[in-house]
């Protein structure tokens, strides 16, 4: 039995939803369908989730609400019309949204979450209505009724262990379950959304709960590419990849599958297949525990910008017990989570995502590091990118770091940081953002160009 999740572009309009129905009809083991909110129909289009965020903002800031509401409702009305559904479902959706915008606004984030989540919730209702209209035996299931319980605000929303137990009961449902992605409820009944792109997470939780044989993740590309196709010309398609490799790549910029979505299926050993709604016969990319072929040392190369570095230096730092802990504690108290901490004898850099900073925080951190740790040089540097080479085959492959560093040196760029995790499945380089694309191309040529396969 399979759990099949369809992303925003797969459910963006009536034509796409018809493809979804055909995919479900083609395989009776596709028993669980998880859907996103309608996404972009064309490049410059807006996702319904973004329209909903605008709507919530208009309500909270007492701006003009009706036109924003219409904008959202029209997306659903257009879909319903294209699927030959009568007015009823559009009325249900309008009623639902009007209730949500009239709810308590005292906690702004929870208010926004409730409006944001309506995107998937109403789309699931609409899609199950459509499935039924074409003779599929299907049922919309609400995450609240099914018991997808998450932790309390303000921590990041995550499913609680009992959610898995509750959701496992859905195995008994005889109809096809149409389940909205992206959100769950606290034990007190408060709706909370996952991270953006979080419908992948719902699909994974559901697949783990019902012990699916396969978690299919339908999107709009045939497979995961070994490098960003917007930067590298026709990169190789990946047929099979391990959970660990996929996790590293998703972390560093591969947006095709949310990195948080790997854990639930990984724990249960459920394979994932990334497939294309527009080309379902293509085999896609399989994410598995262990890959048979390890022909290339590198499976993929990811690049992601938006990193900052906090550089701290103090003579004899290496002898000062507790220095690192105190430094990281200052960051913890400023709610900054870090990614890497390369260090030398007398200096240490902490690398983290820049969006967590603001000028006041920066100043507070600098002052504290000087006053409390008596550091000699402390400063922030911004606009860095991480380029990450990922591959299980890197393990014990000598000379690989040298090849990568030489390839980077050919671009004339300076390497600010190198970090190889002890798993030896990834090798990360911190570089200035301005060189990111040329480095990615150079590394791709080094490791993937046919003449250089080693």
- Under rule CB under 6 A, residue 16 binds ligand ASP: no
Q: Which is nearer to ligand ASP, 119 or 430 (CB)?
A: 119
Structure tokens of 439? Answer: 């480095």
What are the Cα distances from residue 263, in Å, to 7, 120, 207, 448? 19, 22, 11, 29
The stretch near ligand ASP (CB under 6 A) out of 64-72, 130-138, 194-202, 419-427 is 194-202
What are the Cα distances from residue 101, in Å, to 58, 119, 156, 214, 218? 10, 13, 23, 38, 31
Minimum distance from CB of 182 to ligand ASP (Å)? 4
- Applying CB under 6 A, among 6, 130, 164, 182 the residue interacting with ligand ASP is 182
- Under rule CB under 6 A, residue 219 binds ligand ASP: no
User: Which ranges of 34-87 would DSSP assign to H, the alpha helix?
Assistant: 48-60, 66-82
Minimum distance from CB of 255 to ligand ASP (Å)? 10
First to last CA, the chain: 39
- Under rule CB under 6 A, residue 268 binds ligand ASP: no
In angstroms, the CA 6 to CA 298 distance is 29
Minimum distance from CB of 326 to ligand ASP (Å)? 37
Q: Which is nearer to ligand ASP, 7 or 297 (CB)?
A: 7
Q: Which is nearer to ligand ASP, 52 or 408 (CB)?
A: 52
Q: Which is nearer to ligand ASP, 23 or 232 (CB)?
A: 23
Q: Which is nearer to ligand ASP, 200 or 248 (CB)?
A: 200
Is the sign of the CA dihedral 46, 49, 53, 59 positive or negative? Answer: positive
Minimum distance from CB of 34 to ligand ASP (Å)? 9
In angstroms, the CA 63 to CA 43 distance is 27
Q: Which is nearer to ligand ASP, 273 or 387 (CB)?
A: 273
The stretch near ligand ASP (CB under 6 A) out of 21-29, 168-176, 190-198, 385-393 is 190-198
Q: Which is nearer to ligand ASP, 184 or 297 (CB)?
A: 184
- DSSP character string of 212-278: -SEEEEEESSSSEESS-TTTSSSPPEESEEEHHHHHHHHHTT-TTS-GGGHHHHHHHT--EEEEETT
Element (H, E) at 432: strand 426-432
According to CB under 6 A, which residues from 86 to 125 bind ligand ASP?
119
- Applying CB under 6 A, among 147, 184, 197, 393 the residue interacting with ligand ASP is 197
Taking the CA atoms of residue 259, residue 263, residue 266 and residue 272 in that order, the dihedral angle to the nearest 10 degrees is -40
Minimum distance from CB of 112 to ligand ASP (Å)? 13
In angstroms, the CA 355 to CA 381 distance is 13
- Under rule CB under 6 A, residue 277 binds ligand ASP: no
SS3 content of the chain, % helix, strand, coil (to 5): 45, 20, 35
The stretch near ligand ASP (CB under 6 A) out of 197-205, 213-221, 266-274, 321-329 is 197-205
Q: Which residues, other chains included, contact 225 with Cβ-Cβ below 8 Å and sequence gap of 6+?
A: 235, 236, 237, 238, 300
The stretch near ligand ASP (CB under 6 A) out of 159-167, 193-201, 226-234, 387-395 is 193-201
- Applying CB under 6 A, among 4, 36, 122, 277 the residue interacting with ligand ASP is 36
- Applying CB under 6 A, among 143, 180, 184, 198 the residue interacting with ligand ASP is 198
- Under rule CB under 6 A, residue 8 binds ligand ASP: yes
Asked if residue 96 lies in contact with residue 102, where contact means CB atoms within 8 angstroms, the answer is: no
Q: Which is nearer to ligand ASP, 51 or 378 (CB)?
A: 51
CA 267-273-279 angle, to 5 degrees, is: 165
Minimum distance from CB of 201 to ligand ASP (Å)? 8
Element (H, E) at 186: none
By CB under 6 A, the count of residues binding ligand ASP is 14
According to CB under 6 A, which residues from 126 to 145 bind ligand ASP?
none
Q: Which residue has the tokens 């240490």?
A: 348
In angstroms, the CA 49 to CA 334 distance is 29
Q: Which is nearer to ligand ASP, 24 or 256 (CB)?
A: 256
The stretch near ligand ASP (CB under 6 A) out of 65-73, 191-199, 238-246, 338-346 is 191-199
Minimum distance from CB of 153 to ligand ASP (Å)? 19
In angstroms, the CA 242 to CA 292 distance is 10
Minimum distance from CB of 217 to ligand ASP (Å)? 10
Which positions lie near ligand ASP, rule CB under 6 A? 7-8, 36-37, 47, 49, 119, 181-182, 196-200
């Amino acid at each position: 039995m399979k759990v099949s999740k369809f992303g925003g572009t797969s459910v963006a309009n009536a034509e796409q939803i018809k493809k979804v129905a055909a995919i479900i009809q083609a395989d009776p083991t596709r028993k669980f369908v998880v859907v996103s909110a309608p996404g972009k129909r064309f490049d410059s289009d807006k996702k319904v989730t973004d329209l909903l965020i605008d709507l919530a903002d208009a309500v909270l800031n007492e701006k003009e609400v009706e036109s924003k509401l219409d904008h959202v409702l029209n997306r659903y009305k257009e879909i319903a019309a294209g699927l030959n559904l009568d007015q009823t479902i559009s009325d249900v959706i309008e009623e639902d949204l009007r209730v949500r915008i009239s709810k308590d606004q005292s906690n702004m984030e929870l208010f926004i979450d409730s409006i944001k989540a309506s995107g998937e919730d109403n789309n699931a209702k609409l899609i199950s209505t459509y499935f039924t209209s074409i003779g599929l035996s299907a049922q919309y299931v609400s995450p609240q009724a099914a018991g997808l319980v998450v932790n309390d605000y303000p921590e990041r929303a995550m499913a609680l262990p009992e959610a898995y137990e509750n959701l496992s009961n859905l195995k008994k449902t005889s109809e096809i379950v149409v389940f909205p992605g992206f959100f769950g409820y606290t034990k007190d009944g408060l709706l909370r959304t996952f991270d953006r792109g979080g419908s992948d997470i719902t699909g994974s939780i559901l697949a783990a709960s019902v012990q699916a044989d396969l978690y299919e993740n339908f999107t709009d590309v045939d497979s995961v590419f070994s490098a960003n196709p917007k930067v590298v010309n026709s990169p190789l398609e990946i047929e099979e990849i391990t959970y660990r490799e996929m996790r590293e790549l998703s972390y560093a910029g591969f947006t095709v599958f949310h990195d948080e979505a790997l854990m639930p299926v990984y724990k249960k050993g459920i394979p994932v297949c990334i497939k294309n709604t527009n080309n379902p016969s293509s085999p896609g990319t399989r994410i598995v525990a262990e890959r048979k072929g390890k022909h290339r040392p590198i499976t993929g190369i990811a690049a992601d910008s938006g990193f900052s570095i906090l550089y701290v230096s103090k003579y004899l730092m290496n002898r000062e017990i507790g220095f690192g802990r105190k430094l990281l504690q200052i960051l913890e108290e400023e709610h900054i989570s870090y990614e890497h901490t390369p260090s030398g004898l007398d200096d240490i850099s902490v690398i983290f995502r820049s969006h967590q900073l603001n000028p006041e925080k920066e100043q507070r951190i600098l002052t504290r590091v000087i006053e409390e740790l008596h550091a000699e040089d402390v400063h922030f540097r911004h606009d860095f990118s991480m380029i990450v080479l990922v591959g299980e085959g890197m393990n014990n492959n000598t000379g690989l770091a040298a090849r990568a560093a030489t390839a980077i040196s050919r671009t004339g760029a300076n390497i600010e940081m190198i970090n190889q995790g002890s798993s030896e499945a990834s090798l990360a380089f911190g570089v200035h953002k301005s060189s990111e694309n040329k480095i990615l191309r150079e590394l791709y040529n080094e490791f993937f160009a046919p003449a250089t396969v080693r």
